[in-house]
Structure 1
Amino acid sequence: MAINNPYATYQNNSVNTSTPGELTLMLYNGCLKFIQQAKRALEENNIEEKNKSIQKAQAIISELMLTLDKSFPVAENMLVLYEFANSRLIDGNIKNDSALFDEAAAIITEFRDTWKQVIQINRQKQYANVDEV
């Protein structure tokens, strides 16, 4: 008999009921979480764990790159920044340099914070339209 994990159930439901915008925000937060885990592992000289965490962060950045809507001109600029953040993670992983992880995290944090504002603005517009009805 399987034991139910309420946290895993919550996470699954959270992903399944989120809007595309919220899912993107989750990806940014996950990427930042894995970068922080890699930095911690590096401090503890746990190279295997550092590598696993960086690979997870890179996988998220790859997903963000693949899902860019190229019909918007800003997508090209975003792609360049994603590629740069990814290269910082690769270099930081090879050189065991957490400063390079910080550079990548700064870029992802900027994207995350901007994306959070976009979601808030869209919600305000939604609720404003509901009030007008």
Structure 2
Amino acid sequence: MMQVAPNPYRQYLENAVLTADPGRLTLMLYTGAVKFIHQARDCLAARDIPGAHRACLRAQDIIVYLLETVNREMEIGKNLFALYDYMYRRLVEANVKKEAAVLDEVAGLLEELADTWEQALKLKGQQAAGG
């Protein structure tokens, strides 16, 4: 039986995820959720309802993972949990009602989180390099 050559891009992504520190992994999750929300929006625009549904489910899965892993013992964790819960409920609503505006709302929230998280990681890196 002929063996299929591994996809180098997929291997790169898998390695990036497996070797990422928790902060970088969180940023990757935010970025991935935004990507799937944009896919869902594009599918809605193209009237590809099954595609929109699948993309919404992928984004919802990421938010569920974030919900399950956030540390709610800290105040910021409690706040993030509430925000993730809100985003999850809005994604379910967008998926059921096929509302692009709701997808845009959640994507905007995730993009803000990703930007903030990225700035925090840069600051952490600068402090580590300087300290």
| Same fold, judged at TM 0.5 (above) | yes
Q: Letter of the 1:64 partner, please give it.
A: L
Please list every run of 5 or more consecutive structure 1 residues that lacks an aligned counterpart in the other structure. Answer: none
Please list every run of 5 or more consecutive structure 2 residues that lacks an aligned counterpart in the other structure. Answer: none
After the TM superposition, which segments of 4 or more aligned residues of structure 1 sit over 4 Å from their partners?
A: none
**8 Å contact from structure 2 (residues 41, 100) kept in 1:** yes
Residue 13 of structure 1 corresponds to which residue in structure 2?
Answer: 15
Q: How well do the aligned residues superpose, as a CA RMSD in angstroms?
A: 1.0
**8 Å contact from structure 2 (residues 37, 107) kept in 1:** yes
In structure 1, what is the Cα distance between the partners aligned to 2:36 and 2:106? Answer: 12
| Structure 2 residue matching 1:31: 3-state secondary structure | helix
| Structure 2 residue matching 1:113: 3-state secondary structure | helix
Identity among equivalent positions (%) equals 36
What is the TM-score when the length of structure 2 is the normalising length?
0.94
- State the number of aligned residues: 129
Q: Letter of the 1:69 partner, please give it.
A: N
| Structure 1 residue matching 2:13: 3-state secondary structure | helix
In structure 1, what is the Cα distance between the partners aligned to 2:19 and 2:74? Answer: 26
Residue 23 of structure 1 corresponds to which residue in structure 2?
Answer: 25
Q: CA deviation at 1:47?
A: 0.6
Equivalent residue in structure 2 for 1:61, among 48, 63, 84: 63
Q: Letter of the 1:98 partner, please give it.
A: A
* Segment of structure 1 superposing worse, 9-18 or 36-45: 9-18
Q: Letter of the 1:7 partner, please give it.
A: Y
Matches of residues 115-126 of structure 1 in structure 2 within 5 Å? 115-126=117-128
Matches of residues 34-49 of structure 1 in structure 2 within 5 Å? 34-49=36-51
Q: CA deviation at 1:60?
A: 0.3
Q: Letter of the 1:21 partner, please give it.
A: G
Residue 96 of structure 1 corresponds to which residue in structure 2?
Answer: 98
